[in-house]
Chains A and B, each alone.
Chain A
Amino acid sequence: MPLNRRTFLQMSALLTGGLALNLYETPIAAAQSGQPVQPDLSPRAFIHIAADGTITLMAKNPEIGQGVKTMLPMLLAEELDADWSTIHIQQADLDESHYGRQFAGGSMATPLNWDPLRRVGAACRQMLISVAAQRWSVPVSDCTTAPNRVLHATSGRSFTYAELATDAARLTPPPLASVQLKDPRDYRIIGKSQPNVDRLSIVTGKPLYGIDITVPGMLHAVIEKCAVFGGKVKSCNQAAIQKLPGVRHVLVLEGTLATNPVVSSDPGIEPGVAILADTWWQAQSARSKLKIEWDLGTGATQSTDAFAKRAAELFQAPPANTIHTAGDVDAALKSAAKVVEATYAYPFIAHATLEPQNTTASFKDGKLEIWTTSQAPGGGRKMVASALKIPADAITIHLTRTGGAFGRRLMNDYMVEAAWLTKQVGVPVKLLWSREDDFGHDAYRPGGFHSFKAGLDAHGKLIAWRQHLVTYGVGDHYASSAGISADEFPSGHVENFGLYATAMPLRLRTGPLRAPGSNALAFVAQSFLDEVAAAAGRDPLEFQLDLRGNSSNHSDRLSNVLALAAERSSWAKRTHTPGKGMGIACYACHLGFFAEVAAVTVDEKNRITVNHIWVVGDIGSQIINPAAAENMVYGAVIDGLSQMAQEITLDEGRIQQTNYNQHPVLHMRQTPAIEAFFLKSDNPPTGLGEPALPPLLPAVANAVFAATGKRIRTLPLSRSGFSFA
Chain B
Amino acid sequence: MPPQQLKVNNTIHTIDVAPDTPLLWILRDILDLKGTKYGCGIGSCGACTVLISGRPARACQTRLDEVGTNPVTTIEGLSLDGTHPVQLAWQQVDVAQCGYCQAGQIMAASALLASNPHPTDAQIDAAMSSNICRCGTYPRIRQAIHQAAESAAKK
Please list the residues of chain A having a beta carbon within 8 angstroms of any beta carbon in chain B: 63-67, 193, 195-196, 198-200, 202-209, 211-212, 214, 220, 245, 279-281, 285, 352-356, 401-406, 432, 434-436, 627-628, 631-632, 634-639, 642, 659-661, 665-671, 674
Contact A211 B139, CB 8 Å, known A64-B98, A65-B99, A401-B99: no
Check if B126 is an interface residue, CB within 8 A of chain A. yes
Q: Is the CB of B129 within 8 A of A403?
A: no
Check if B57 is an interface residue, CB within 8 A of chain A. no
Check if B117 is an interface residue, CB within 8 A of chain A. no
Q: Is the CB of B142 within 8 A of A668?
A: yes
Check if B39 is an interface residue, CB within 8 A of chain A. yes
Contact A668 B141, CB 8 Å, known A195-B91, A214-B32: yes
Nearest to A636 among chain B residues (CB) is B136
Q: Is the CB of B132 within 8 A of A208?
A: no
Nearest CB on A from B109, distance (A):
11
Contact A209 B100, CB 8 Å, known A354-B45, A404-B135, A631-B137: yes
Chain A to chain B contacts (Cβ below 8 Å), 11 pairs: A209-B37, A211-B34, A353-B134, A355-B100, A401-B98, A405-B98, A435-B40, A635-B97, A638-B136, A659-B44, A669-B129
Check if B114 is an interface residue, CB within 8 A of chain A. no
Q: Which residues of A contact B72 (CB under 8 A)?
A: none
Q: Which residues of B contact A639 (CB under 8 A)?
A: 135-136
Partner of B124, one of A279, A432, A668: A668
Check if B149 is an interface residue, CB within 8 A of chain A. no
A405 to B17, CA, bound (A): 33
A44 to B140, CA, bound (A): 37
Partner of B134, one of A66, A352, A634, A668: A352
Additional 13 contacts, C-beta under 8 A, given A639-B135, A665-B134? A65-B96, A65-B135, A66-B97, A199-B91, A203-B75, A281-B25, A355-B39, A401-B98, A402-B98, A403-B37, A635-B97, A660-B132, A668-B125
Q: Is the CB of B136 within 8 A of A203?
A: no
A544 to B78, CA, bound (A): 53
Which B residues from 101 to 146 make CB contacts under 8 A with A? 101-103, 106, 124-126, 128-142
Q: Which residues of B contact A356 (CB under 8 A)?
A: 38-39
Check if B152 is an interface residue, CB within 8 A of chain A. no
Check if B82 is an interface residue, CB within 8 A of chain A. yes
Partner of A205, one of B33, B44, B81, B138: B33
Contact A635 B37, CB 8 Å, known A199-B94, A354-B45: no
Check if B41 is an interface residue, CB within 8 A of chain A. yes
Interface centre among B91, B97, B102 (most CB of A within 10 A): B97
Partner of B136, one of A199, A432, A666: A666
Please list the residues of chain B having a beta carbon within 8 angstroms of any beta carbon in chain A: 17-18, 21-22, 25, 28-30, 32-42, 44-45, 47, 74-76, 78-79, 81-82, 87, 90-92, 94, 96-103, 106, 124-126, 128-142
Nearest CB on A from B18, distance (A):
7
Q: Is the CB of B37 within 8 A of A280?
A: no
Q: Is the CB of A195 within 8 A of B94?
A: yes
List the 3 shortest-distance A-B pairs measured between CB atoms, nearest first. Answer: A205-B35, A65-B98, A638-B136
Nearest to B41 among chain A residues (CB) is A435
A708 to B51, CA, bound (A): 44
Q: Which residues of A contact B47 (CB under 8 A)?
A: 354
Partner of B97, one of A204, A206, A631, A669: A631
Nearest to A662 among chain B residues (CB) is B44
Nearest to B35 among chain A residues (CB) is A205
Nearest to B42 among chain A residues (CB) is A659
Q: Which residues of B contact A220 (CB under 8 A)?
A: 29
Nearest to A635 among chain B residues (CB) is B136
Q: Which residues of A contact B136 (CB under 8 A)?
A: 634-639, 642, 666, 671
Q: Which residues of B contact A635 (CB under 8 A)?
A: 97, 135-137
Q: Is the CB of B97 within 8 A of A65?
A: yes
Nearest to A204 among chain B residues (CB) is B82
A205 to B110, CA, bound (A): 15
Q: Which residues of B contact A195 (CB under 8 A)?
A: 91-92, 94
Q: Is the CB of A403 within 8 A of B138?
A: no
Nearest CB on B from A645, distance (A):
13
Nearest CB on B from A399, distance (A):
14
